[in-house]
Structure 1
Amino acid sequence: MPTPRLLAGFIGINRHLDRDISDLSCARRDATALWALWQDTLPNTDPALLVDEDATQARIEELLSQTLDAATEVDTVLLAFSGHGTHSHRIVTHDTDLLNLVDTTISMASLAERFRNSRARHILLVLDCCFSGGASAKVIEDGVQSRGTGFSLENNFAGRGRVLLAAANVDEEAWEAAGHGLLTAALSEALQAAAGPVEVGGLLAEVTGRVRAEAQRLGLTQTPKWVGDFEGGFVIPALHAGQHYYKAFPEQTGLQVSPAIADLAGFGLPEEVLQVWTQQFPQGLNELQLAAVNDYHVLNGESLLVVAPTSSGKTFIGELAAVKAATNSQRAVFLVPYKALANEKFEQFSALYGDTLGLRVIRCTGDFQDATNAFVRGKYDIALLTYEMFLNLVVRSQGTLSRIGVVVIDEAQFITDPGRGISVELLLTYILSARERGITPQLVALSAVIGNTNGFEHWLRCQALISTKRPVPLEEGVIDRTGLFEYVDPETGMSQTRQMLPPHVVVTRREKPSAQDVIVPLAQALLSSEPTAKLIVFRNMRGKAEGVAGYLAKDLGLPEATELIDALPAQDRSSTSARLRDCLRGGTAFHNTNLAREEREVVERAFRAPHGKVRVLGATTTLAAGINTPASAVILGETEFVGEDQRPFTIAEYKNMVGRAGRLGYNERGQSFIVASTPMERKQLFQRYVLGRPEALHSSFASGNLATWVLRLLAQIPQVRRKEVATLLANTYGGYVAGRNNPDWRTQMDANVENIIFDLIRLGIAEQEGPVLQLTLVGFACANSSLSFDSIARLLTLNKSQGMGALSLERLLALTQVLPEMDDTYTPMLRNGNKEKTWPFHATHRIGNDLVQLYQRFLPDPLSYQRRAKRALVVADWIEGMPMETLEQTYSNSPNAVFSGMSPGDVRRIAEATRYHFRSVVPIMQALHPELLLDDEDLNIISTRLEVGLPVDALPLLKIPTLTRGEILLFAQHGVTDAGTPWVEVEPVAQALFGADRCQILVDHWPH
């Protein structure tokens, strides 16, 4: 008699080759967990594991042949599948083609036939998938991943001694949460909890009860269904975790590591990346990172708030969690405040984790290169997004969040920002509310130094790792015009003074005393003391940042950075481009919004290079937020903002700027200097900023924009009882803090919210049916927009105006200028300039008199009428490809554009703000006017043109990644507008326009 065998196979498919099949999160983990437990319990059975790329149609068919078909009368077969199914009752494989489902899937009919015809004594077939849930079988509903509707099994699967366990009953859906399918989780837990061999009949009852209870906890209904019959005793062993399971799920081990990077291999991190990290960090994990791993269990999936100084290594903690998730068949999302920071990390992660590990790295920042479709379908491993893009995508595409294993939010202190804070708080609120539905991505929040956390970590429901220690000590202080430096010694913590500069070197260099008088000799002293020293001088205006780089280029006598000048874009130069070249000739540079993206990238790379030629960088304050530009020393020329903000720096903002000082591996200590005019001012600034404690964390929530908060929160849920709308506010961080500090806050909010609900219904944004409030179609478009409630109300009011005229995308683009958000966008104007008065006249001829008349409504001040017209004209010329220098000249009233004219930064800011809010105006107007046929492709074209400043016929050349705006415009002027044109035809034009050296670069990127 043959020896009884146990033939087992486990299949789990997260990834699919077809770009239109959504990737899953937990299927691979399901199969791997069962396989590992079985391998650890019965190592001699050699169960098969097919996951992702291995789980092709042919390999699965081969596995079925080796198990069901090959089994004898004494064998037991155990098969488990986790993945997609279809309406037509077919199992989706890794290489399934949506356009050819019949030939590229495994039909349930063929599986049932094998099931019936198998000679095996016992069969247990576990199907944690759906068979009638649509093309993407595990459809998403309310953020929990659905595995679709059940399938009538009785007539297909029958036979004694064999059982099929399906994920759900015929009229239900199967779900997954917390890293596993509910069915697979219950099955593995039951088998591990058993004291001895498990009788299958009892196992099925236990699993059914567990799944039903867990689904009820999540507010769902799911009842596993089994069909079949038993013949004799059908018993399978209890399972226990061993080396295979802990290798696959190392977070279960409670591993402790030393500073050695190699120790992280115990968490399942690949050897290739550990080698790269070891080269990057030869000293190993620092104290902060070690605490995050060993004490706060960040690699075990625990959520964590990390508050630490700039350059302390906290970003690497988020990176550790992200790579751990990505290499463990989960997805990681990195959220950052600025597109520039997202682009920098995208390049860094693509080179490191894409090239080294083959991970799929994408970005979504609102640019034309965005991989939005890949993000929504889960076809990535690590994604870089700005706050606003993430919030928009997860709210609009229900279920996107359930595909994510870890969310890392960098610069989390932005929750306090008056402009950006609402996006940070709303996305965190969305993540927290999703936990009630079983969606539990790990959250790693990284913040620069703040004061009291004010309960932030309690609201986030995680621990807080707080440190004020820097890897490189910082000598932080204030210097006055006498050259006396008052500072805190980082070793002793004591306040001290020393004569940093001889008094006679600080002289008045212009008509009257200024910060320049101190900055010049201070920079000379700092750079002469260290051959590789790097210096950042922060100024509060773009013009001052350019100015400090300019006069230091003349006074310091640094070597010329000729190779960097050659690397700058040669075409579409602005007045700023010329000033940058002048600075580089003196070994300095500046960094502000007047620079084109390519220019900023050249400057950033040159400054961060340890032996790069740029040793001094004049910068505006935005450089302090995350961009990788460490320096030896930092100088602050001012401690207050100018313009519309006109407020002193907060202590937290100041600490973030000076935190750039001190480069690990290059300096034993960093230095920072605030420039003061007098000894008295030196003492005051020292007390306020150097000795001051950063402000407590707070919400940007304010009663003045309460309606905006209510509307944006309503977008996160399908409907809510009217009396519970105030609860949505209470769930925000602002509501949490206010409710904690004021027991009457909720009662006060109820009355305010009632007035807001009345306005929402009156404007047609919301509707009420019985006690339930929900958004209308128009309301949903409004709530998912970037616009404030006041802006939406203005737009809806204008919509009823008789002056709107015919609507088109081009006219909606012009209409966008009347929004309050655009009125708040800085537009340079001379109050008494005659040229400024002509903009409405010119706009009438460009965009139509009816729209220009609308510009006269809702004016915050008399000049707003002219500003709106001016912005509309700037945008119109920008998207038609007007050269930047011509734009500056056309829209400036002063030859000194650095301080008073239309600068390149102003043009790009106006175009970017228009693009951002235009993407909100269109869906709202489309919802108001369903008869309008506003084509999505046309919308994307206009949006791209606003981003890059190109006419329609030049857009195809964006496919050539190395081309700059100026080069594309020149190509278009000479008839080259198709990236598919053979290079042999393009080369003569390129040679004439750009020269041989540039052509050599272009030929390598031109499609062949």
Structure 2
Amino acid sequence: MLEIKDLQTWLPREVIDLYLERGILELYPPQAEAVERGLLDGKNMLLAIPTAAGKTLLAELAMVKAALAGKRSLYIVPLRALASEKFEAFSRFRRLGITVGISTGDFDRRDERLGKNQIIVATSEKADSLMRNGASWIRELGVLVADEIHLLNSANRGPTLEMTLTKLVRLNPEMQVIGLSATVANAREMADWLQAELVSSDWRPITLREGVILRRKMSFVDQEVPLRNSGDEVLSLVKDTLDEGAQILIFENSRRNAEATAIKLGQALGQGSMDLAEKILASGESETARRLADCVSRGTAFHHAGLLPEHRRVVEDGFRSNQIKVIASTPTLAAGLNLPARRVLIKSYKRYESGRGMTPIPVMEYRQMAGRAGRPGLDPYGESLLMARSQPELQELMGHYIFGQPEEIWSKLASEIALRTHLLSTVASGFASSIQELKDFIATTFYAHQQDPWRLDVTLERVLAFLEESGMITSLEDDLRPTRLGSLVSKLYIDPLGARIMVDRMRALSRPPDLSLIHMITMTPNMEQLYVNQSDAWLEEFIDQHIHELNPEENYDFLLRQVKTASLLLDWINEVREEEISARYRIGPGDVRRVAETGEWLMHSAAEISKHLELGVTFQAQRLSQRIHYGAGPDLLALLELKGVGRVRARKLFQAGYTSLDRLRAARPEEIAAILGPRIGEKVASQLREPEESIDRWGRMNGDQA
């Protein structure tokens, strides 16, 4: 057994005291093994251990030790929400004089000021963009932590994570690398790639009982336990859990099912927090918000990516404070957020996959969900349950998920879509200046560690040919050089195919209407287009009415999806209420914001490309980018520079005759307060008393804190 006070060999007393104050007296066995294997001596380490077994604490110890020695650490996470959670957790080290920063925002900024911090939290995409934009401090790292490193297996996020890790190791050869992973079948292979010690364990701080529900009985490996309460199996299980004073997480396979379950359980339970419900309604009214607030007032909640970030935070904080007893969620909640419960119910182990129909989830994903069961120090045990409809299905679930081994992790770098952007950035950032250097670089990736890198040769040649045809690189014999356009596209962090679409369309357009530019950005691969179904018959009429404003598109199904997405952005900048947009396009408020955020970034990128190539639409694209940022008409942009003034308040001021900052300056504070209310009115009045140049708050995707 290794006690916290035994770490004084490596860490000063004030660090030990910080952990003792948190009630951490000794290390868990996997933590002790990591320290004994050299974690605090600077050795690379892959920690493949279950959720709640203390991976983050080990990363903290290494980063704190590095910070006190004057070294900088970068902590990479897959999600913005997880970045915020870790930033808040690491901020406790400020009392040790350690500065902490977070960066999840703009993809075309260097963020040199971030380098003043000793611990920096960022998504893998942001870390990648920092290298593309030449942040100098990224070459001076002492520790790199890759949280959820098993996401190398993800088709979406895996290639960026893999290339980011490969490049960071190339820039910082002496840096300590720590990978935090779920339990995977080929952890040794991952550790070898990282040149790391492997600590792999199934140990958990509290017992996890895994079982399957069938015919109102919970079947565990060693016993059967009948459900006590009446009602259907889910309601009965929830009531049993609440009777024990505990909480439950229910994983559903779709947003609709998550909402339906939370609503149904709320109607049956009926005890919750009106304060939290009011908080939800205060931070954004929509039909989704009203449904969520109603659930929360009854002690339940739903959680999915269609919620606004502020609503997700209310749900998460409410669950942590035990004001919310039940959360029905899509699997996104299992992806790293620290939100454990006594019981976890995986209501459906199948989910819809395009082209494949309903498909069983991987064992690794099951483990991630099941791992949320049991709160160390609070619960005597954790229980994870699947649901079966027959005895054969119960046996199958037991064998596959409870006794089965998690899958192997495989690199997804061979995708042409991934290689398009990452090969350009590798050349543009100076990691390779010839085809041979590019192949040598690829030889250091996880892909090359798993299989022969020559398998990529054909795809590599095809991608390089595309980049050269698109004017983004030049090749002379073996040499590769980025063009100014290629360097710009890499820094803007957009898919080169999207950049080519923008260049081709902007060259073809002469004094384009706004819809032409908005449709253009929805044609790019970076824009996640909305789905179209039978209730979208209005789209055909919209296309007929605007046919001369739309860009040519041979595939009519693609055109429908593009135009639906463009129509949403048009509604957004024309100040249609968020609630109406959500209802018309049948998406959540969080989805509306996400489409707008992506649209703003792509329109900004179009403006930068137009400026570089002198394509004549720079000002129009810049103005549209601002309008998408605020969701407002061009007449409100000046007023929207005021802090605390969004598009609704700005329109109220405008309609009251305050059409400019100068007119607003001439107003008496009580006149402003009569329109905006006393609190916001005073905030605005105090800004107007400041020097004129200090009022400038426009910035894209503001997600950085020094």
Structure 2 counterparts to residues 309-320 of structure 1, below 5 A:
309-320=50-61
Q: 2:561 aligns with which of 845, 867, 870?
A: 867
The SS at the match of 1:455 is helix
Report what 2:698 is aligned to. none
- Equivalent-residue separation in structure 2 for 1:411 and 1:587 (angstroms): 31
Q: Tell me which moved more, 666-675 or 274-283.
A: 274-283
Q: 2:235 aligns with which of 520, 524, 534?
A: 520
- Equivalent-residue separation in structure 2 for 1:266 and 1:582 (angstroms): 53
**Deviation readout 1:242-263 (Å, 9 max, x if unpaired):** xxxxxxxxxxxxxxxx743344
**Deviation readout 1:554-611 (Å, 9 max, x if unpaired):** 1124x231121232342640001110121122111111223222222111111012xx
Return the letter of the residue paired with 1:501. L
- Equivalent-residue separation in structure 1 for 2:444 and 2:635 (angstroms): 44
Report what 2:449 is aligned to. 736
Report what 1:484 is aligned to. 217
From the superposition, tell whether residues 406 and 768 of structure 1 become closer, same or farther in structure 2 (CA, over 3 Å). same
Structure 2 counterparts to residues 60-99 of structure 1, below 5 A:
none
- Equivalent-residue separation in structure 2 for 1:1005 and 1:615 (angstroms): 43
The SS at the match of 2:24 is coil
Q: 2:66 aligns with which of 325, 336, 341?
A: 325
Return the letter of the residue paired with 2:539. E
Q: 1:357 aligns with which of 96, 110, 129?
A: 96
- Equivalent-residue separation in structure 1 for 2:688 and 2:217 (angstroms): 58
* Count of equivalent residues: 685
1:709 deviates by 4.4
Report what 1:764 is aligned to. 471
The SS at the match of 1:409 is strand
Task: Tell me the C-alpha RMSD between the 2 structures.
Answer: 3.8
Report what 1:340 is aligned to. 81
Q: 2:119 aligns with which of 382, 389, 392?
A: 382
1:857 deviates by 1.4
Q: 2:599 aligns with which of 891, 897, 914?
A: 914
Return the letter of the residue paired with 1:542. R
Asked if 1:415 is matched to 2:152, the reply is yes
Report what 1:400 is aligned to. 137
From the superposition, tell whether residues 999 and 633 of structure 1 become closer, same or farther in structure 2 (CA, over 3 Å). farther
The SS at the match of 1:635 is strand
Report what 2:4 is aligned to. 261
- Equivalent-residue separation in structure 2 for 1:587 and 1:548 (angstroms): 13
The SS at the match of 1:660 is coil
- Equivalent-residue separation in structure 2 for 1:945 and 1:757 (angstroms): 38
Structure 2 counterparts to residues 437-516 of structure 1, below 5 A:
439-453=173-187, 455-480=189-214, 482-487=215-220, 495-501=221-227, 505=230
C-alpha contact 2:210 2:385 (8 A) present in aligned 1: yes
Report what 1:677 is aligned to. 389
- Equivalent-residue separation in structure 2 for 1:525 and 1:727 (angstroms): 59
C-alpha contact 1:322 1:406 (8 A) present in aligned 2: yes
Return the letter of the residue paired with 1:678. S
- Equivalent-residue separation in structure 1 for 2:495 and 2:34 (angstroms): 38
- Equivalent-residue separation in structure 2 for 1:544 and 1:970 (angstroms): 39
- Equivalent-residue separation in structure 2 for 1:429 and 1:948 (angstroms): 44
% identical equivalent positions: 27
Computing the radius of gyration over CA atoms, which structure comes out larger, 1 or 2?
1
The SS at the match of 2:439 is helix
C-alpha contact 1:452 1:697 (8 A) present in aligned 2: yes
1:397 deviates by 0.6
TM-score, normalisation: structure 1: 0.62
C-alpha contact 1:483 1:501 (8 A) present in aligned 2: yes
Structure 2 counterparts to residues 37-116 of structure 1, below 5 A:
none
C-alpha contact 1:364 1:389 (8 A) present in aligned 2: yes
Report what 2:539 is aligned to. 836
TM-score, normalisation: structure 2: 0.86
Report what 1:631 is aligned to. 341
1:631 deviates by 0.9
C-alpha contact 2:52 2:204 (8 A) present in aligned 1: yes
1:815 deviates by 1.6
**Deviation readout 1:164-191 (Å, 9 max, x if unpaired):** xxxxxxxxxxxxxxxxxxxxxxxxxxxx
C-alpha contact 1:553 1:588 (8 A) present in aligned 2: yes
Asked if 1:773 is matched to 2:512, the reply is no
1:869 deviates by 1.9
C-alpha contact 1:726 1:749 (8 A) present in aligned 2: no
Return the letter of the residue paired with 1:522. L
- Equivalent-residue separation in structure 2 for 1:768 and 1:400 (angstroms): 30
Return the letter of the residue paired with 1:292. A
For CA contacts below 8 A with separation 6 or more, give which structure has more relative contact order.
2
The SS at the match of 1:699 is coil
Report what 1:65 is aligned to. none
Q: 1:754 aligns with which of 455, 458, 461?
A: 461
From the superposition, tell whether residues 700 and 923 of structure 1 become closer, same or farther in structure 2 (CA, over 3 Å). farther
Report what 2:695 is aligned to. none
Q: 2:371 aligns with which of 647, 650, 659?
A: 659
The SS at the match of 1:642 is strand
**Deviation readout 1:618-645 (Å, 9 max, x if unpaired):** 1111111122211111111111223648
Return the letter of the residue paired with 2:218. F
Return the letter of the residue paired with 1:285. L
Asked if 1:721 is matched to 2:455, the reply is no
1:471 deviates by 0.9
- Equivalent-residue separation in structure 1 for 2:120 and 2:515 (angstroms): 33
Report what 1:692 is aligned to. 404
C-alpha contact 1:363 1:370 (8 A) present in aligned 2: no
- Equivalent-residue separation in structure 1 for 2:651 and 2:338 (angstroms): 31
The SS at the match of 1:499 is strand
The SS at the match of 1:550 is helix
Asked if 1:285 is matched to 2:43, the reply is no
Asked if 1:876 is matched to 2:583, the reply is no
- Equivalent-residue separation in structure 1 for 2:165 and 2:632 (angstroms): 28
From the superposition, tell whether residues 643 and 913 of structure 1 become closer, same or farther in structure 2 (CA, over 3 Å). farther
C-alpha contact 2:283 2:310 (8 A) present in aligned 1: no
- Equivalent-residue separation in structure 2 for 1:965 and 1:357 (angstroms): 42
- Equivalent-residue separation in structure 2 for 1:365 and 1:799 (angstroms): 30
- Equivalent-residue separation in structure 1 for 2:668 and 2:276 (angstroms): 31
C-alpha contact 1:915 1:947 (8 A) present in aligned 2: no
